[in-house]
């Protein structure tokens, strides 16, 4: 059994590195609107943004392949050296994204390089989480695995938090034009220094005691893939982990944090900086709840805490997001008179100008931007105020939106806090890395990571800003129901 001092070192080394990898992974999503203008054609902004979300999604889809590659390596070679390798791959790919010339400079090669580097990031993350969670759990004493592994669970949210802080700091130190042109590259480039520090810390750590014992006794797996997925007794556990927990937990995580941010910025047209600054205290206040719910799971069991978070989220999303939309309703404050010039058609005698106001009409549960077309003389062009179509909310409205997102973060903490300990306990140690990683990364990488893209695509196709919520509602609800029948609760 590890001493208190040694387990703290293990948690620090694992958590810092994992947090940096999440930071690397999420600065891409946080900067998606700018990346859309840099690496994709500008003629169709909506298509460019969806293409950027697709590139963001590639990193998630590839994560299960990383889970297989590095999971096998972790069960054959060891936990420590595997997540040292994933750290270097993630850091190198992130640094390289900051160096890619824009679309106007190298054309189609720009989005191709973005997709390739996002795939490398996903591959690395597919091996990182399982290694870090197992490494901590195999050092932790019985009865406290939920508590100790919960520090790994906080790293994803802290990674998002740090990405927002770095981005907003860079924005505050330069003009908006400078940031959009070259300043956005800084968050990608500085990550290489964080990776080097974390790599150094990890090299000083010992291998997991459980793996060392397996190796000493000659009990390590000779073929982790075959033993994990070729035997029904273990494959059944993989399927339970995926459809009974991980899929629902994945959509709850990405809906409650990432999609909530995109929803406010893209669908409610709220100023991006306002939303990002608001998220910082929300994430700070909410993140300790991962530890609270994980610790509770040590005492009362993992099952009902995780499934309750998913079920309550599925039942609450529609009301919460309509509440957020209500805070952005133009009637609730004195709106500034801003309009956007979106198109113009010139003729010999007059110019047809289409403008968009910031007014919202809530019809059948959805909001649509009201478009007004006016036929003006060419000399009247200067009378049109050309601004971005965003809304700057009063602080009381921002506070309420933050409260709605905090409530979603509570659901995230319930579903995500205990899951590392649950998955570690579910599988035998000789094939734990492989067996654990695949269902986790399918649930989080595919079901969860594609949430922003699928939800936004539903919004674009239907014209209803709330239609995207049906995806997380259905997946989280179905997982909670299946989990009730599939999972046997174990109190450690």
pLDDT tens digits for range 254-292: 899 889 988 998 888 888 888 988 998 999 999 999 999
| Tokens 């591959």 found at | 123
Percentage of residues in the chain having pLDDT higher than 90: 26
**Number of structural domains in the chain:** 2
| Tokens 């595997």 found at | 82
DSSP 207-223: PPHHHHHHHHTT-S-S-
In a domain, 491, yes or no: no
Same domain, 81 and 170: yes
Same domain, 440 and 350: no
Same domain, 313 and 343: no
Q: What stretches of 242-336 show up as alpha helix (H) in DSSP?
A: 247-254, 260-262, 272-286, 288-300, 303-327
In a domain, 47, yes or no: yes
What mean pLDDT value characterizes the chain?
80
Same domain, 177 and 231: yes
Residue 471 sits at the vertex; the CA angle it makes with 470 and 477, to the nearest 5 degrees, is 85
Same domain, 370 and 341: yes
Q: What CA–CA distance (Å, rounded) separates 409 from 162?
A: 17
Least confident of 113-117, 224-228, 381-385, 465-469: 381-385
Same domain, 325 and 353: no
Q: What stretches of 138-204 show up as alpha helix (H) in DSSP?
A: 145-172, 176-181, 186-203
Q: What CA–CA distance (Å, rounded) separates 118 from 124?
A: 10
Other CB atoms within 10 Å distance of the CB of residue 352: 13
Q: What CA–CA distance (Å, rounded) separates 137 from 131?
A: 10
Domain that holds residue 362: 336-383
Helix (H) or strand (E) holding 255: none
Same domain, 374 and 449: no
Spell out a b/e string for 238-256, using b for 16 or more CB atoms within 10 Å of the CB, else e. Answer: bebbbbbbbbbbbbbbbbb
| Tokens 């924005």 found at | 171
Band the pLDDT of 5: cuts 50, 70, 90. Answer: low
In a domain, 239, yes or no: yes
In a domain, 480, yes or no: yes
Same domain, 378 and 443: no
The pLDDT of residue 334 is above 70 = no
| Tokens 């179509």 found at | 389
pLDDT 10s digits, 85-103:
888 888 888 899 899 998 8
Q: What is the pLDDT of residue 370?
A: 35
Same domain, 52 and 91: yes
In a domain, 492, yes or no: no
Q: What is the pLDDT of residue 206?
A: 77
In a domain, 101, yes or no: yes
Same domain, 450 and 357: no
In a domain, 159, yes or no: yes
Q: 3-state class of 28 per DSSP?
A: helix
Q: 3-state class of 173 per DSSP?
A: coil
Give residue 441's Cα distance to chain centre.
12
pTM above 0.85, yes or no: no
Which residues lie closer than 8 Å to 238 by C-beta, 6 or more apart? 228, 229, 435, 438, 439
Q: What CA–CA distance (Å, rounded) separates 264 from 470?
A: 17
Same domain, 182 and 44: yes
Mean pLDDT of 424-446: 87
Same domain, 359 and 437: no
Are 51 and 40 in contact by the 8 Å Cβ rule? The answer is yes
Q: What is the CATH number of the domain that holds 434?
A: 1.20.1250.20
Q: What is the pLDDT of residue 405?
A: 96
In a domain, 388, yes or no: no
């Amino acid at each position: 059994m590890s001493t208190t001092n040694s387990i703290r070192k293990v948690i620090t080394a694992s958590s810092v590195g994992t947090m940096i990898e999440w930071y690397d992974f999420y600065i891409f999503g946080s900067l998606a609107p700018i990346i859309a203008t840099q690496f994709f054609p500008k003629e169709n902004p909506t298509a460019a943004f969806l293409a950027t979300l697709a590139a963001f999604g590639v990193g998630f889809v590839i994560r299960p392949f990383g889970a297989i590659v590095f999971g096998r390596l972790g069960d054959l070679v060891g936990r420590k050296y595997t997540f040292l390798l994933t750290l270097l791959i993630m850091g190198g790919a992130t640094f390289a994204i900051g160096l890619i010339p824009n679309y106007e400079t190298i054309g189609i090669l720009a989005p191709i390089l973005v997709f390739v580097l996002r795939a490398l990031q996903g591959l690395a993350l597919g091996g990182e989480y399982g290694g870090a969670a197992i490494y901590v759990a195999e050092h932790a004493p019985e009865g406290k695995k939920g508590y100790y592994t919960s520090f790994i669970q906080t790293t994803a949210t802290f990674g998002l938090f740090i990405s927002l802080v770095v981005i907003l700091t860079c924005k505050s130190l330069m003009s908006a034009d400078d940031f959009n042109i070259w300043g956005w590259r800084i968050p990608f480039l500085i990550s290489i220094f964080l990776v080097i520090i974390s790599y150094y810390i990890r090299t000083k750590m010992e291998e997991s005691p459980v793996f060392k014992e397996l190796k000493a006794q000659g009990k390590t797996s000779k073929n982790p893939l075959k033993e994990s997925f070729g035997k029904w007794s273990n494959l059944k556990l993989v399927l339970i982990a995926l459809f009974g927990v991980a899929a629902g937990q994945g959509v709850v995580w990405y809906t409650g944090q990432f999609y909530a941010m995109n929803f406010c910025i893209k669908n409610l047209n709220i100023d991006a900086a306002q939303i990002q600054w608001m998220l910082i205290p929300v994430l700070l206040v909410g993140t300790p709840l991962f530890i609270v719910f994980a610790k509770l799971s040590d005492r009362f069991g993992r099952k009902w805490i995780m499934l309750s978070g998913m079920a309550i989220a599925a039942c609450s999303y529609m009301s919460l997001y309509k509440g957020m939309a209500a805070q952005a309703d133009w009637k609730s404050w004195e709106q500034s008179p801003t309009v956007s010039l979106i198109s113009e058609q010139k003729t010999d005698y007059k110019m047809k100008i289409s403008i968009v106001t910031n007014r919202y009409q809530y019809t059948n549960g959805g909001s649509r931007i009201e478009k007004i077309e006016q036929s003006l003389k060419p000399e009247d062009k200067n009378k049109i105020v050309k601004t971005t179509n965003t809304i700057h909310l009063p602080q009381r409205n921002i506070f309420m939106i933050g409260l709605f997102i905090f409530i979603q973060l509570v659901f995230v903490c319930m579903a995500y806090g205990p899951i590392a300990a649950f998955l570690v306990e579910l599988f035998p140690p000789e094939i734990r890395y492989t067996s654990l990683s695949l269902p986790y990364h399918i649930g989080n990488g595919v079901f969860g990571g594609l949430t922003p893209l699928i939800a936004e695509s539903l919004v674009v196709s239907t014209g209803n800003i709330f239609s995207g919520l049906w995806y997380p509602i259905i997946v989280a609800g179905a997982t909670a129901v299946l989990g009730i029948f599939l999972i046997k609760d174990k109190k450690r």
